[in-house]
Homo-oligomer: A and B are copies of this chain.
């Protein structure tokens, strides 16, 4: 819709969207598109075990018609410190314990937002969308609104755009939403959750474990909405 040069007053805004292939980032992409942003997706591969998420991110970006989708490798295993990148056991069937979980990846959102900021500078975007959420991930310091706000202030000072007086905005539209609300809003926007992947510890064939924190939160959210998770149906059909 933005390719018709006849439409002179059409001035599409570009946004970089961090896309993991999970439920939250797919919903975030749908929200950015709903707000008429032309979306440049970025998937950061930080040496996580669940490479299946990366495949999911490709399917999500393609099916949702992202303008561009880039991948960046940062092998955080070289510095360690998380059950998601190291050889720690991913906790199973644990209640949502207090404190910072073992699945917390040090400075993960800061690294991902920094890479998104570089990408935004290159494509001339002043908006970055990220699916962070303070409700389900209350133990993660970098999932809080005050953190996002501080990143935005820093981003403004870090960039050519900021120096030239343009505003860099970090959008975290899911920040205060419960998981059922995220899914509910995403379904309204047409997100196909069968394409998304959330498990921290999938099987070799990519099936969700259904016992890690991420799976438990996702299962409970779909149950609350009275819907069966389409990704679970699809995964059961796969041999």
A-to-B contact residues, CB < 8 Å: 70-76, 78-81, 100, 104-111, 113-115, 117-119, 121-122, 141-142, 144, 146-147, 150-151, 153-160, 162-163
Contacts and interface: CB of A to CB of B under 8 A. Distances in A.
A115 B113 CA distance: 12
Contacts of A157: 141-142, 144, 146-147, 150
6 closest cross-chain pairs (CB), A and B: A106-B121, A107-B118, A81-B122, A150-B154, A106-B118, A147-B157
27 contacts: A72-B74, A72-B76, A73-B75, A79-B115, A79-B119, A80-B122, A100-B163, A106-B121, A106-B159, A106-B160, A107-B114, A107-B117, A107-B158, A109-B158, A110-B114, A110-B118, A110-B158, A111-B111, A114-B114, A141-B158, A141-B163, A144-B157, A146-B157, A150-B150, A150-B156, A150-B157, A151-B154
Given A80-B122, A81-B118, A153-B153, A159 B75 contact: no
Give the number of times this chain occurs in the complex, counting copies: 2
Nearest to A119: B79
Contact of A154 (B80, B100, B119, B153): B153
A135 to B, nearest CB: 17
A110 B141 contact: no
Given A81-B121, A118-B79, A122-B81, A147 B158 contact: yes
Nearest to A156: B150
A210 to B, nearest CB: 28
A110 B100 contact: no
Provide the main secondary structure of the chain A interface: helix
Contact of A78 (B70, B79, B144): B70
Given A79-B122, A114-B114, 13 more contacts: A73-B73, A73-B74, A74-B74, A79-B115, A79-B119, A81-B121, A100-B160, A107-B115, A107-B118, A141-B157, A141-B158, A147-B157, A150-B157
Contacts of A158: 107, 109-110, 141-142, 147, 150-151
Given A150-B150, A157-B146, A115 B74 contact: yes
